[in-house]
Amino acid sequence: MEDGTTYEGMGFGFPKIVGGEVVFNTGMVGYSETLTDPSYKGQILCMTYPLIGNYGVPSWDDLDEFGLPRYFESERIQVNGLIVNELSTVASHWDCERTLDQWLYDEKISGISGIDTRDLTKRLRVDGVMRGALCVSPDEINNNELARAMSETKYDGFNFMPEVSVSEIKEYGSHSLPPVVLIDTGVKYSIIRNIIRIGFRVICVPWDTPTIDILSYSPVGVVISNGPGDPKMCKSTIKTANDLIDLSVPTLGICLGNQIIALAGGGNTQKLKFGHRGQNKACTEVGTNRTFITSQNHGYGIEPESLRGTEFDIWYFNTDDRTIEGVTHRSKPILAVQFHPEASPGPYDCMFVFEKFKEMILNDNIGYQRQKPENMTTSSRTGTKEKKTGGRKGVSEK
């Protein structure tokens, strides 16, 4: 690690050397969802729960009603490496297809077990997240190679968008449904799932799609997704967000999307010391004091002072450290949350954010009135049978 610490353990998964920003997550379940979350791009993930791999890895063929894999959040493992205290070499679950070890091997990702993950976590908590490198090898490990891998690692100031965003437009959900454009800055499948669930068709576009192209779909709303890295790297997305605010297009930002909207609205973002990654984070709603348990995964956040003088109000704040967890525009239909209302992994308590988004669309009498279909008042659930583009298949086609 950057501070010179080394940890020795037992390697698993795929043997190679890899660098990344070392972060920790305190969730006790949900490694298949976590590892495939594109927000972890460029990071080596340490799980604080000591036993990982207990229920194995489910099948990619197990699809939900929208044709998306049920237990995964993107088409591949996104972390650069995995650090655990103890890897369960045996997996037990009715839906298990292979072990975690096997999965990592198959996807050429390295892991290490037998680590004092609590000690590592405390180090990151005290000194902040830092770069590190992981080497899994059957041979003697060369410390110089490790050091080189670490120093070559780029995280801060690196634009991950080309790696995580779709390269071409994809559609999910029935054609009969009104369209929502999803700007893919590293989206999780569950965000797509939830947009369809509330009754929309999803048009998933690359992160740098110009506003004019987005508007060409006549979207009733736009979602800016989660994703990895520094939001300031997503310059063209910020520009688009700015346009969407100007045009009063109903927009929902999630995680990175939240930060992008804040930047577009004149606010600023900052890197947090060690981020928020877990499933137990309390967020309080300004005004009502209702507190919700949320799932989170972010290393950057909105600088609270920077919202002064902008058109944005704080919607949610983190009950523990008072960081901003959500914003709303004072006059326009713009909502954003720093946490993950789509859960997966984590608690489903904040699903209502999607309903709020839907409500915003239904109340929008500019863009939406134009093409409001008859069936919009009832949330219809339509699968993606006509066009099944999500899921594992996407990988092999690439």
Partner 1 sequence: MLPVTRSYVEKIIEQERPDSIMLSFGGQTALNCGVTLNDEGVLNKYGIKVLGTPITGIKITEDRQEFKNAMIASRVPVLDSAPAHNMEEAIEIANNIGYPVIIRVAYTLGGKGGGVAHNEYELQEIVQRGLPQSIVHQVLVERYVGSWKQIEYEMMRDSTGNAITVCNMENVLAMRVHTGDNIVVAPSQTLNNEEYHKLRSAAIRAVQHCNILGECNVQFGLDPASEDYCAIEINARLSRSSALASKATGYPLAYMAAKICLGYSLTELVNSITKTTTACFEPSLDYVVLKMPRWDFRKFELVSRKLGTSMKSVGEVMAIGRSFEEAVQKAIRMTDTGKHGLVCNDDSELEENLEIVEEGLLHPDDEVLQTVVKAIKLGISINTIYRLSAIDPWFLTRIKNVIELEKKLRDSDLSENLLKDAKRYGFSDHQIGKCVGLNEMSVRKLRQKLGIIPVVKQVDTLAAEWPAKTNYLYLTYGGEKNDIVYDKNNRGVIVLGAGPYRIGSSVEFDWSTVNMVWSLKENGIESVSVINCNPETVSTDYDISDRLYFEELTLERVLDIFEKEQSSGIVTCVGGQVANNLVPKLGKLGIPIIGTASTNIDMAEDREKFGKLLDSLNIRQPPWKKFTNMAEAIAFCHKTGYPILVRPSYVLSGAAMRVVWGEEQLERFLNEAIHLSPEYPIVITKFLQEASEVEVDAVSNGEEVIIGSLIEHIDNAGIHSGDAMMCIPPWRLTRKTMNTIVEYTKMIALSLKVKGPLNIQYLVKDDQVYVIEANIRASRSMPFVSKIVGINIIALAAKAVLGKPLPKEAGNLWMRVPGFGIKVPQFSFMQLEGADVVLGVEMQSTGEVACFGESFYDALSKAYEAAGYSLPLSGSALITIGGQRYKEKLLPLISLVNSMGFKILATEHTAEFIKNNTKANVQEVYKISEPSRKPNIADLLYNRQIDFIINIPSTSTIEKYVGMLYDEYQIRRKAVEMGIPVLTTVEAATSFVESLRWRTTFKPTINSLSGYVEF
Q: Which residues are catalytic?
A: 255, 340, 342
Location of structure tokens 């998964």: 13
Which CB atom, from 41 or from 70, has the smaller least distance to partner 1?
70
Give the end-to-end CA distance of the chain in Å, rounded to a whole number: 34
Distance CA 205, CA 273 (A): 32
Among 61, 313, 320, 386, binds partner 1 (CB under 8 A): 320
Which CB atom, from 94 or from 309, has the smaller least distance to partner 1?
94
Of 101-109, 140-148, 224-232, 282-290, the segment contacting partner 1 by CB under 8 A is 282-290
Distance CA 351, CA 309 (A): 30
Which CB atom, from 113 or from 211, has the smaller least distance to partner 1?
113
Cα angle value 66/73/60 (rounded, 5°): 70
Distance CA 20, CA 135 (A): 12
For residues 353-372, which are near partner 1 according to CB under 8 A? Answer: none
10, two tokens: 């037992």
Among 4, 94, 378, 398, binds partner 1 (CB under 8 A): 94
**Shortest Å distance, C-beta 144 to partner 1:** 24
Cα angle value 251/255/257 (rounded, 5°): 40
50, two tokens: 């000591």
Which CB atom, from 46 or from 149, has the smaller least distance to partner 1?
46
Phi/psi of residue 205, nearest 5 degrees: -120, 155
**Shortest Å distance, C-beta 112 to partner 1:** 14
Q: How do beta strands 10-13 and 110-113 pair?
A: antiparallel
Among 15, 50, 128, 394, binds partner 1 (CB under 8 A): 50
Q: Tell me which residues touch partner 1 (CB under 8 A).
A: 24, 26-30, 32-33, 48-51, 54-55, 58, 70-71, 85-86, 88, 90-95, 116-119, 121-122, 125, 274, 278-282, 284, 289-291, 293, 319-320, 343-349
